[in-house]
Amino acid sequence: MKRFFSHPLLLSALALAGCYVLFTRIITPPLPRSLLIQDMTIVAIAILLVATFNNSTAERFGAPIKALLGSPKMMIPRFTTLLVVMAGVAGLVYNRIKPTTASPVELRTVHPAPPSTLNVYGKTYNLLKLTNPIRDANPKGSKGYEEAVREGGEIYYKNCIYCHGDLLDGAGHFAGAFNPRPINFQDAGTIAQLQEAFLFWRITTGGPGLPREGTPWASAMPVWHEMLKEDEVWKVITFLYDYTGHVPRTWELDKKDSKKKPADEKKPAAAANAKLDDAAIDRIYAKRCSHCHGIEGDGAGPAAKFLYPLPRDFTLGTFKYKTTQADDEFPTDDDLRKTIMEGLPGTAMPAWKTLLTPREVDGLILKIKQFGEWDDEEIEHKPIDLGQQVKSSPESIARGRKLFVKACVQCHGNAGRGNITSGKKLKDDWRNRIWPRNLTRPDTWRYTKTAKDVFQRISTGIRGTPMPEHTTTMTIADRWDVANYVMTLRNTAVQLAKGETVINGLRIKGDLPVDP
């Protein structure tokens, strides 16, 4: 028995197990997995060296292993050991790849550590000393700086808007499909905490350029140095800081500037509440709106050709959503204010309530009227006659269904999914192809959220589109019944069953068949 417990192979196994327990259960804080593997490898090598320090000990250490692998009498233990090893490897692999509820590493790492040098554009950059050449050559407020910001905005809205969003808040159209989500530049915990050299590294190398030490990464960020020139990247970086109002971090703090009070603190309260002059309104419009709607308000901004639906052309004075009668050409200020503040879901028009103050919105409303050459003195708004609202009830919904079938099915479909039954290809007044609203998907409803909103859309129609007004074909009570019915269609879209989320393609010879 003593000889058995003093065998070097058993002692080595016990020592290895003891060290593992020490590293994982006793030492605090727990060691990272990478460090644990490194320490256990060193311990295993040390134990092996001690156990085989002379020939006799080495022979005793290897005798059981030699017998297990070569003795005919050890066939059953040999195959048992093989099965155990295979099962152990399979278990390790399974535990490695199985889904987990723990947050991914990339979500726990706030900002990955950048390398000291960066090789892109055929150059080597020292990230510890790299600064923004545009900012160095053009002080803020100079003509060169403003031009760089303008060009950087154009590049951003042509390339980055789909993920990082109109408001630079990481809520672009594709954002929900990514994990991790695109970065929110408005957040004070992102670019405000970083140097411009860090952004240059992240933009130029994208997801593939992230350090291996922080893997696994799941970033969908493209490698932009393959698509953008060096000066274009710096212009985008300059635009990001100018648009958000953040100041990039530097190695040395400018003590002189740090003592200055922010401009807003110097302004008296009366000045803060005063109306904006034309120059201030023009600056706000150019900064917030011109990239989509164009500097002339004609809907031809640099981002316009990449968007659907197209941005509104203010010079035509035609607006889709209003609370005035169908014969009224213009919406009210409150209608425009709601569109600006709340945005239009399902389009590139964001909700500006988080960035614009009420007086800035009022200034933009004035700017919109100037583009369309409105004359407020000649405009007399006639609000939609709401009458007496019909409460939603089974009877009202049943009446609304009959009216819906009679007046709405040809465009919106029998189930309200926007599948046209008339076979017509609908176009707006500018000959752009459009589709009826899918009433089962309220997340795509632009301006409408309540039965009252639906009533108004039915009553006044949607200008510039085939959606007509129904005041001549339906009574007020009828329109309320239809509105009550339409509200029941929300969230009735049928979810795909398990196994139906993948489209299986078939390889065929010859031309594609016309029939399904």
The token pair at 464 is 């510039």
Instruction: Based on the fold, state whether residues 368 and 402 are members of the same structural domain.
Output: no
pLDDT value at 109 more than 60: no
Q: Which of 90, 118, 103 is nearest to 230 (CA)?
A: 118
Instruction: Based on the fold, state whether residues 361 and 459 are members of the same structural domain.
Output: no
pLDDT for res 65: 86
92 within domain boundaries: yes
pLDDT in tens, 161-180: 999 999 999 999 899 888 88
Q: What percent of the chain has pLDDT over 70?
A: 90
* Mean pLDDT over each residue of the chain, to the nearest integer: 87
pLDDT for res 498: 66
Q: Please, are residues 218 and 206 in contact by the beta-carbon 8 Å criterion? A: no
Instruction: Based on the fold, state whether residues 118 and 230 are members of the same structural domain.
Output: yes
The token pair at 230 is 């060096």
**Domain limit, last residue, from 88, 107, 126:** 107
516 within domain boundaries: no
What is the band of 257 on the pLDDT scale with cuts at 50, 70, 90?
very low
Report the Cα 39 to chain-centroid distance in Å.
Answer: 41
User: Alpha-carbon distance 235 to 150, whole Å?
Assistant: 8
Cross-strand pairs, 117: 126
Instruction: Based on the fold, state whether residues 102 and 134 are members of the same structural domain.
Output: no
Instruction: Based on the fold, state whether residues 274 and 370 are members of the same structural domain.
Output: yes
Instruction: Based on the fold, state whether residues 215 and 118 are members of the same structural domain.
Output: yes
**H or E, element range at 293:** helix 290-293
pLDDT value at 409 more than 60: yes
515 within domain boundaries: no
510 within domain boundaries: no
What is the band of 265 on the pLDDT scale with cuts at 50, 70, 90?
very low
Instruction: Based on the fold, state whether residues 301 and 238 are members of the same structural domain.
Output: no
91 within domain boundaries: yes
pLDDT value at 338 more than 90: yes
Instruction: Based on the fold, state whether residues 287 and 338 are members of the same structural domain.
Output: yes
Q: What percent of the chain has pLDDT over 90?
A: 57
Length of the chain measured in residues: 516
**Domain limit, last residue, from 56, 73, 107:** 107
Residues whose CB is less than 8 angstroms from the CB of residue 359 and which lie 6 or more positions away in sequence, other chains included: 273, 274, 275, 276
The CATH number of residue 462's host domain is 1.10.760.10
Neighbouring CB atoms inside 10 A of 122's CB total 6
Comparing 109 with 488, the larger pLDDT belongs to 488
Which residue type occupies 133? P
pLDDT in tens, 1-31: 667 778 888 888 899 999 989 888 888 777 7
Instruction: Based on the fold, state whether residues 120 and 249 are members of the same structural domain.
Output: yes
Maximum mean pLDDT: which of 92-101, 103-112, 127-136: 127-136
Comparing 126 with 275, the larger pLDDT belongs to 126
pLDDT for res 59: 87
What is the band of 255 on the pLDDT scale with cuts at 50, 70, 90?
very low
Instruction: Based on the fold, state whether residues 118 and 250 are members of the same structural domain.
Output: yes
422 within domain boundaries: yes
**Domain limit, last residue, from 61, 77, 107:** 107
Domain with 10, as residue range(s), is 2-107
Alpha helices by DSSP H, listed for 357-503, are: 358-372, 394-407, 409-412, 451-460, 476-487
What is the band of 263 on the pLDDT scale with cuts at 50, 70, 90?
very low
| Sign of the Cα pseudo-torsion (386, 440, 354, 347, in order) | negative
pLDDT for res 256: 44
pLDDT for res 211: 83
Comparing 134 with 378, the larger pLDDT belongs to 134
Instruction: Based on the fold, state whether residues 119 and 152 are members of the same structural domain.
Output: yes
pLDDT for res 202: 94
Which residue type occupies 6? S
503 within domain boundaries: no
Cα-Cα end-to-end distance for the chain: 79
Residues whose CB is less than 8 angstroms from the CB of residue 71 and which lie 6 or more positions away in sequence, other chains included: none
pLDDT for res 240: 97
pLDDT for res 239: 97
**Reported pTM:** 0.69
Neighbouring CB atoms inside 10 A of 164's CB total 24
Domain count, the chain: 4
Instruction: Based on the fold, state whether residues 123 and 225 are members of the same structural domain.
Output: yes
Neighbouring CB atoms inside 10 A of 224's CB total 20
Alpha carbon of 403 to those of 442, 461, 466, 486: distances in Å?
21, 16, 18, 11
505 within domain boundaries: no
